[in-house]
A = this chain, B = another copy of it.
């Protein structure tokens, strides 16, 4: 139960930051580059804060990460459904909270289409790298560095992937519910999630090659 609450709160703050910082940035500057820089730095900040805070309980905040943890026998399979449900619920709650803090309707559907080969490749690459960073650190016993490694990775991935690196099925779902800077057209979500799972699977394979005994 504590793990579910931790996953709910952490994913809530993660998505509230992705969405909320996008709204604020658009209100304050017309430079789209600066908007995305703000969006990326704010996301990096909340990732450090929520991972260090909740890591002693549970801090995946990402169904792709939870699934790989199950495959590596770090999380019991029967716990995964609850954790993933908490992540999705927390993510949607984060979008609603961000909308409400900025006096918008609690839910509005995004019509921001995000699709095409370049973006799909981007999501696979983004999730591959994210999963690799997390489990490489855990395999090496450097748990305390996960927060900084993940945050630094995501700040970079916002920029080096054409998709701005959603890299998280729960976040992709949650970002449907806001017609603002960070939103995504519901019709674009399925391919994003699929490519994220492809990237995560490739990362799992890489982790097994690099860290498992022969």
Contact = CB atoms under 8 A, between A and B. Distances in A.
Could you say how many copies of this chain the assembly holds? 4
A186 interface: no
Contact of A31 (B34, B147, B157): B34
Interface string A18-43: 01110011001101111111110111
Interface string A40-57: 011111111110111111
Contact of A49 (B6, B19, B103, B156): B156
Contacts of A47: 152
B33 A156 contact: no
A79 to B, nearest CB: 17
B48 A210 contact: no
B152 A46 contact: yes
Contacts of A13: 129, 160
Interface stretch (A64-72, A81-89, A133-141, A169-177): A133-141
Contact of A122 (B35, B57, B101, B153): B101
Nearest to A99: B118
15 contacts: A2-B209, A13-B160, A16-B125, A19-B160, A21-B159, A33-B35, A39-B159, A45-B157, A52-B148, A52-B149, A54-B136, A97-B125, A101-B161, A103-B116, A103-B162
Task: Please name the 3 residue pairs, one residue from A and one from B, whose CB atoms are nearest each other, closest first.
Answer: A29-B33, A20-B160, A45-B156
Interface of A: 2, 5-6, 9, 13, 16-17, 19-21, 24-25, 28-29, 31-39, 41-50, 52-57, 97-98, 100-103, 116-119, 121-122, 125, 129, 132-133, 136-137, 139-140, 142, 144-145, 147-163, 206, 209-210
Given A20-B159, A39-B159, A55-B140, 4 more contacts: A33-B35, A56-B136, A56-B139, A144-B145
